A = this chain, B = another copy of it.
Amino acid sequence: MKVEVICIGDELLIGQTINTNATWIGAEFVKQGVKVEFCTVTKDIKSDIVNAIDLALTRVDVVVITGGLGPTKDDITKHTLTEYFNTELEIDQEVLERVTTFFKKRGRNMLDINIQQAAMPRGCKVLSNDRGTASGMWFDVNNQVVISLPGVPYEMKHILKERGFPLLLEKFGSKALFQRTLHFQGIGESYIADRISDLEEQMLIDNLSLAYLPSVGSVRLRLSGKLNLSHKELMSRYILEMYRRFPTYIFGEEEDTLSEVIGRILLKKNLILGTVESCTGGAVSSEVVRVPGSSKYFQGSIVSYGNDLKINLVGVDKVDLERDGAVSEVVVKQMALNGRRQLGVDYCISTSGITGPSGGSEEKPVGLVWIGIAGPERVTTKSFLFGDFRERNIRMTVLSALNLLRCELLAINTEKK
């Protein structure tokens, strides 16, 4: 089953709406073992829509169209498809009943344009919409299919899942793919690639595919293969080997985030976390708190952004601070140790760095960051040299600090050999 998605709507092209529909549809098809081949976004213009469908039908089996099914004048998809398939609109009694009930339930009056939403192209299969008034449509074109869905995500998802997929699987069968994703922190994609070039070659022979998906401060590595036992086992072996090669860098799998992974470890070990932050200004703390239930293992933080607070509130030694500067090993060490005591926590993360754009010097350039982790047994410190951009440096520091904590919690040695 080859699939193309066509998203209709000016708002998608002029930057007013992020096309999350295409993302969601792509992910749903992957669950069925199908990779979407193309996605085309067009304006609400009849000729553009017709051309997009024409092209799609030359190269795929299933065309999924979203958008343009609303009641207002700028919604032209239904009329365009009616013309395209050379048929006519007629009121569908079942749809009319559903639409009428929809309005009745909400105590709203039905306008003529709402009644027109029950007019469906003769010959299409109606994909009924329990969440709104715009029905989906299924058109058979010999062995191909054109599906039209509303653009409202909450309605579109419901119709495709409940009505579309059962019919698609019936028609085309399923050959689901199997995918696994590993998350790396603290190593760039080119360094990963360099250290697994032998594995990559072997994967090719084994018919597995590998993709690198980098974002700021982390890289996802995705393995794909067929949904069968031999591919599953092969992948498990590759993944084990990756863990063996990158114990400090791989922090999770599939949908994991670093803060979730840390939360799980803390919870399991019954440990409490706190932070004392300078350059990150509370970003480590707020990242930890994004996870529901984090109050079970997170106590709080001191954001000692100004040096006064480092001395007066955190108790960093004034002489040390003046001698070595705020961005120094001795200061992050004291921040982590004192924070651990003051916050009454088992582990305390500390950060201090020059995130830029100004404030750098020759010996302490913009991008220099010190991170400390104080735990029950020891305090660890590590320095990093990130780049020139403030937001990126902050994000890199947050992820590096959390990964350093993860390694400490799991007693993984992060020192360079």
Contacts and interface: CB of A to CB of B under 8 A. Distances in A.
Interface stretch (A84-92, A137-145, A167-175, A285-293): A285-293
B343 A309 contact: yes
A70 B212 CA distance: 9
Given A298-B305, A358-B293, A19 B22 contact: yes
A189 interface: yes
Given A189-B71, A300-B306, A303-B300, A285 B292 contact: no
A169 B12 CA distance: 23
Contacts of A38: 13, 40-42, 48
A17 B23 contact: yes
Interface in A211-241: 211-216, 220, 222
A363 to B, nearest CB: 14
Contacts of A292: 356-358, 390
Q: Is the interface of A mostly helix, strand, loop or mixed?
A: mixed
Contacts of A280: 286, 289
A281 interface: yes
A12 B41 contact: no
Given A15-B28, A19-B22, A285-B281, A313 B290 contact: no
A192 to B, nearest CB: 8
A16 interface: yes
Given A74-B211, A212-B72, A300-B313, A290 B39 contact: no
Interface of A: 10-20, 22-30, 35-43, 48, 55, 70-74, 105-108, 111, 113-114, 131, 152, 154, 181, 188-191, 193-194, 200, 210-216, 220, 222, 275, 277, 280-286, 288-290, 292-295, 298-306, 308-309, 312-313, 342-344, 356-358, 365, 367, 385-392, 394
14 contacts: A11-B211, A13-B36, A14-B27, A17-B23, A19-B19, A105-B365, A105-B387, A131-B387, A282-B301, A300-B302, A300-B313, A302-B302, A302-B303, A313-B343
